[in-house]
Amino acid sequence: MQKTKQKQDIPRGWQRVKLGDVSDVTNGKTNSQDAVAHGEYPLFDRSVAIKRSNKYLFDKTAVILPGEGAEFVPRFYSGKFDLHQRVYAIFPGDIVYPPYLFQYLYANRAVFAQNAVGSTVKSLRLPIIQAVDVLLPPISEQKKIAEILGAVDEEIQKTDEIIFTTEKLKNGLMQIFFTKGIGHTKYKKTNLGELPAEWAVVGLEEVANVERGKFSHRPRNAPEFYGGDIPFIQTGDVVRSHGKIQTYTQSINEKGLAVSRLFPKGTIVLTIAANIGDTGILEFDSAFPDSLVGITVGVNMDNVFLEYYLRTRKNYLNSIATQSAQKNINLQKLNPILVIKPSLAEQKKIAEILSSVDKKILTNQKLKDGLILLKKGLMQDLLSGKVRIK
């Protein structure tokens, strides 16, 4: 009965085929240790990452598919390439437009994970790949579908490149601003290296109040404390914040607040357990547990400037964290860490410039997210035949 329904769901002029009936599928022969740093040809390994090889197995257009792992994400390649022995190359036949097949297999990649074998490491076998169902429109429609989806892919890639370039710019600016400042000509040697002569180097506790979050009740997951209107941020909220904590995944009620504490908007939040040294500034009043600390700056320190600077100290914070079952850092180690202290006006200027760069990154990230959502909808409509291309 189910098989009949599937046939009825096929759009007019389309056909349902087995992948092995419309393409040749083969695995590679090369081991990872055969990769060479400056090889002439790309070598696709088990993670479908590109290494290099001095030889090539194929000179064709193919869909490359990893043969083992947790996810089986295909990629498209045309030209000379080498292939790891646990990676498959799918060469489309005459009735299949290669970019269409790539888009179809990418959209339906979950079917590979569902049919993979093995317990510890999931892997694909040739018969599994060959037995995968593929919906094929006429070749002209395949080309149009691939053209539309490919155009969105190009825009996503362009946006990714802008984000990468802007991130690189920001990192370069931070390196300059936090060592050379703006407009300085005289420098001095300090415990943090050579810095502008006008700057001070002070302990964090001298320019800010550092306090641990709190949730004193045990067990912590007792439901009667949760579900109210009071934000209760977690480590993940800070890690995902990109410096500005604008969302939260959990909340507490008044009973929960009685065993916790509320930190005001503008507080710098720092992760001190498991993830060490991630930071973000609260954009709303919030409570949080003792796996986070709140840093409230004094009158001569700008909170945005300090948050940016603390990002550069993440590796150092990890190096002084206590090594136990779970890495953590206490206030005794955190309070005296050295930070730079330019004039308040210079702090604000540096913070303003870095914030403007971050704003560009965030704008492009939102654009990318929108394009990904657009492509997801297009794949659902076009690759199923729900929306036809004439």
141: pLDDT strictly greater than 80: yes
Predicted pLDDT of residue 128: 95
**CATH number of the domain within which 168 lies:** 1.10.287.1120
Is 313 a member of any domain? yes
Which residues pair with residue 297 across a beta bridge? 208
Predicted pLDDT of residue 325: 64
Is 269 a member of any domain? yes
376: pLDDT strictly greater than 80: yes
**In a shared domain, residues 130 and 233:** no
The predicted-structure confidence for 92-140, as pLDDT tens digits, reads as follows 999 999 999 999 999 999 999 999 998 888 999 999 999 999 999 999 9
Is 192 a member of any domain? no
**In a shared domain, residues 31 and 124:** yes
Domain count for the chain, please give it.
Answer: 3
**In a shared domain, residues 122 and 143:** no
The residue whose two tokens read 């490491």 is: 121
pTM above 0.95, yes or no: no
The predicted-structure confidence for 331-356, as pLDDT tens digits, reads as follows 999 999 999 999 999 999 999 999 99
**In a shared domain, residues 328 and 376:** no
**In a shared domain, residues 132 and 50:** yes
Predicted pLDDT of residue 50: 78
Is 163 a member of any domain? yes
- Mean pLDDT of the 226-250 span: 95
The residue whose two tokens read 């400042």 is: 181
**Domain stop point among 136, 153, 173:** 136
2: pLDDT strictly greater than 70: no
- Mean pLDDT of the 266-274 span: 94
The predicted-structure confidence for 292-330, as pLDDT tens digits, reads as follows 999 999 999 999 999 999 999 999 999 988 876 677 888
4: pLDDT strictly greater than 60: no
**In a shared domain, residues 214 and 153:** no
**In a shared domain, residues 332 and 271:** yes
**In a shared domain, residues 320 and 333:** yes
Token readout for 150 is: 């490919």
Question: The domain containing residue 176 runs over which residues?
Answer: 137-182+344-390
**In a shared domain, residues 351 and 302:** no
Distance CA 69, CA 87 (A): 11
Is 190 a member of any domain? no
**In a shared domain, residues 61 and 129:** yes
**In a shared domain, residues 228 and 316:** yes
Query: Which residues are CB-contacts of 132 (< 8 A; sequence separation ≥ 6)?
Result: 18, 19, 105, 108, 111, 112, 115
Is 43 a member of any domain? yes
**CATH number of the domain within which 250 lies:** 3.90.220.20
169-183, 218-232, 316-330, range with the lowest pLDDT: 316-330
Predicted pLDDT of residue 13: 92
When the pLDDT of each residue in the chain is averaged and rounded to a whole number, the result is 93
6: pLDDT strictly greater than 70: no
Predicted pLDDT of residue 5: 41
**In a shared domain, residues 233 and 330:** yes
Predicted pLDDT of residue 1: 30
Is 29 a member of any domain? yes
Quick check: 174 and 310 in contact, CB under 8 A?
no
